[in-house]
C-alpha cells in the first residue's frame, strides 16, 4: 500500500517526519531512482526508496533502548576522524538504531536509541520541553553557584528556558550540582557554567523525564520496558 514518503522515512527510524519533509524538499529522496517531491507516495513493498543514495529499510519491530555512554565517545553513527562512536556500543542490538539527541564527547550518561522516528521527534522537539537531568561537578567561584546558574536566561544573546539547579554537595574546592534543562542547545550546560565563572569537571546525564540511568554500567545498554516507553510516549501531542 502506498503511503506518503515522509511517513515511511520516519517509520524507518532515519529521522522525524518534519526532517523527512526537509529531505524531500531538498531533493535528497528518490523512488526507483527518480527524485521525489514533498507529498509523493510510494509502496515500499514494490518500490525502492533511497535517501542520499542509501536504500531505506523499514524496520518491522520498533526498538527502544538506553545506553550509558562513557566519556570519549561521539554521538554519531560514524565518524570521519575515526573516533569511537556511541553507535558502536549498541551495534549488537540486532537492528539499526539512531541516537535520540546527543551527548558531547566529554559528557557521559543516559543516551536513548531507537528506530522510531516519531518517538524521536517527541523527545527532541522543543515544544515538548522534555526534562533532562544532569549531575555536574564544577570548580571556580562556588559561592551561590546554584543560584547563579539558575539565573542564566540567555546564551550569548539567545534566550533560553532557565534551568532548575540544586546544590547536592560541596567540598574540596568543587561542587556537585543537579541541573535540569528542557532544551538541548549545543553544549548548553557547559556554556551556562562558563558564563557564570564555573569550570565543568564532569557532566553526567542521569535522567530523562521518568527514566533514570540507575546502576547501568558505563558502556552497557538495556531495552526500555513497556511501562517506560508508554510514559515517554505520553509526551506526544494529541
- Report the catalytic residues: 104
Q: What span, in angstroms and rounded, lies between the C-alpha atoms of 41 and 189?
A: 42
Residue 29 has phi, psi (to 5 degrees) of -115, 135
Question: What residues contact 137, with CB distance under 8 A and at least 6 apart?
Answer: 174, 175, 176, 177, 200, 201, 202, 203
Strands 198-208 and 108-114: parallel
- The CA–CA distances, whole Å, from 65 to 14, 57, 70, 127, 129 equal 16, 19, 16, 23, 21
- Which contiguous run of DSSP H or E holds residue 51? strand 49-51
Q: What span, in angstroms and rounded, lies between the C-alpha atoms of 211 and 202?
A: 21
Burial class (CB in 10 A: 0-12, 13-18, 19+), 39: exposed
Q: Give the three-state DSSP class for 3.
A: strand
Q: What span, in angstroms and rounded, lies between the C-alpha atoms of 145 and 170?
A: 10
Burial class (CB in 10 A: 0-12, 13-18, 19+), 34: exposed
Amino acid at each position: 500500500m502506498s503511503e506518503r514518503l515522509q511517513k515511511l522515512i520516519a517509520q524507518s527510524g532515519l529521522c522525524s517526519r518534519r526532517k523527512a519533509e526537509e529531505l524531500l524538499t531538498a531533493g535528497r529522496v528518490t523512488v526507483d531512482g527518480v527524485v521525489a517531491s514533498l507529498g509523493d507516495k510510494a509502496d515500499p513493498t514494490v518500490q525502492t526508496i533511497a535517501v542520499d543514495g542509501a536504500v531505506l529499510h523499514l524496520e518491522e519491530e520498533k526498538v527502544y533502548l538506553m545506553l550509558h555512554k562513557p566519556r570519549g565517545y561521539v554521538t554519531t553513527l560514524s565518524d570521519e576522524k575515526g573516533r569511537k562512536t556511541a553507535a558502536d556500543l549498541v551495534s549488537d542490538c540486532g537492528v539499526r538504531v539512531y541516537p535520540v539527541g546527543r551527548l558531547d564527547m566529554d559528557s557521559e550518561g543516559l543516551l536513548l536509541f531507537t528506530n522510531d522516528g516519531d518517538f524521536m521527534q517527541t523527545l527532541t522537539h522543543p515544544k515538548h520541553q522534555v526534562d533532562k537531568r544532569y549531575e555536574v561537578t564544577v570548580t571556580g567561584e562556588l559561592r551561590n553557584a546554584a543560584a547563579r546558574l539558575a539565573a542564566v536566561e540567555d546564551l550569548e544573546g539567545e534566550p533560553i528556558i532557565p534551568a532548575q539547579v540544586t546544590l547536592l554537595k560541596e567540598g574540596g574546592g568543587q561542587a556537585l550540582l543537579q541541573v535540569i534543562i528542557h532544551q538541548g542547545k549545543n553544549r548548553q550546560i557547559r556554556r551556562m557554567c562558563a558564563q557564570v565563572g564555573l569550570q565543568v569537571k564532569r557532566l553526567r546525564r542521569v535522567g530523562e523525564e521518568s527514566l533514570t540511568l540507575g546502576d547501568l554500567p558505563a558502556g552497557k545498554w538495556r531495552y526500555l520496558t513497556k511501562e517506560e516507553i508508554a510514559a515517554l510516549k505520553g509526551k506526544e501531542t494529541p
